[in-house]
Chain A
């Protein structure tokens, strides 16, 4: 498992890093890297690989009921934006499960 930063990672960080590791698109990524980085480039993930990662994440979480929105793409250049997209997908997934 990736090394923990000082505090426990929030759900979005944990979900993103764990999924990225399973996907093999960022094999050395840690929770700490995400907590300390501002940009996607600092995480060592190309823009196209980030799109693939998020597309796979949304597929896994929603079983294809939701797809990657073009409006999300500009957000994926910043760590804050990536985590907000992850949180939005998680929320949509939970809403669908509840309904």
Chain B
């Protein structure tokens, strides 16, 4: 029998993550399982009677009302690896869908930590407030997991990383992004290169790792590691689902009650985090034990 501890990262993989800012890909579902799970999730999303919000543009947090995605965010294959990085106590605070249709452009290079994007989050009111010191690179408090639900090869628009870039800032996350409808934008309607600290720096001249994945594989990364994606030049839609994890010591949306992003607005009245492992010893964030349908979230305990 395989225990969750067997599914964690090896010492070498943890070291690789700390040095490079990402590690993977890892197997989770077979390609057929991934395809079927996504189809099931699509049906649940379309027919949901308990949507967290009504936006079709801001596609956040459908793990809160789609049982298939509720189950996905707590998968032991994922949680055990996040545990190897963050520690035993873990909350999932956000998820979003990254769909790239054939012909869609790539996503521009970016790095974030406090998730100051859109019009309601600012340096003074970030999405995330870290209550523990961020200066120790060995203490990891946030990890994103990007799961491919379709092939995500170069021609489909795979993710790409600048290895090691999480060790310093290349962008000023505290500055506001502005919408420029007349300009070509490659960051969901914004132009992230506006935030570059050195306007002459060209990420394309850095060492780049293209993270090709098969449907059903996932990669772990820290959002501060500069990342983006290639354009979809293939003939199939690329589907990615990002689930985002934190130590419970991080405050989520502490002073933010709505999000205005990509031309749409959602209230955050619905928002809550999911304790996927361990305990919440802080009580900073609302924790959901069941999703909005009443489906219980699974929580893994170490060594289970």
Interface residues of A (CB under 8 A from B): 41, 46-49, 51-52, 55, 68, 70-74, 77
Contact = CB atoms under 8 A, between A and B. Distances in A.
A23 to B, nearest CB: 13
A74 B39 contact: yes
Given A48-B56, A74-B35, A55 B40 contact: no
Interface stretch (B41-49, B78-86, B263-271, B274-282): B41-49
B95 interface: no
Interface string B17-37: 000000000000000000110
B237 interface: yes
A20 to B, nearest CB: 15
Contacts of B237: 77
A22 B19 CA distance: 58
A55 B39 contact: no
A64 to B, nearest CB: 13
Nearest to A73: B39
Contacts of A74: 35, 39
A52 B42 contact: no
Interface string B82-107: 00000000000000000001000000
B212 to A, nearest CB: 21
A51 B188 CA distance: 25
Q: Would you list the 10 A-B pairs with minimal beta carbon distance, nearest first?
A: A73-B39, A51-B46, A70-B39, A48-B46, A70-B40, A52-B46, A70-B36, A73-B42, A68-B43, A55-B47
Nearest to B35: A74
B165 to A, nearest CB: 34
12 contacts: A46-B56, A47-B42, A48-B46, A49-B46, A51-B43, A51-B47, A52-B47, A55-B43, A55-B47, A72-B39, A73-B42, A74-B39
A82 B35 CA distance: 18
Given A51-B43, A70-B36, A73-B39, 8 more contacts: A41-B101, A48-B45, A52-B47, A68-B43, A70-B40, A70-B43, A73-B42, A73-B43
Q: Which of B36, B47, B237 has the most CB of A within 10 A?
A: B47
Q: Which of A48, A55, A70, A72 has the most CB of B within 10 A?
A: A70
Contacts of A48: 42, 45-46, 56
Given A46-B56, A47-B42, A48-B42, A71 B47 contact: no
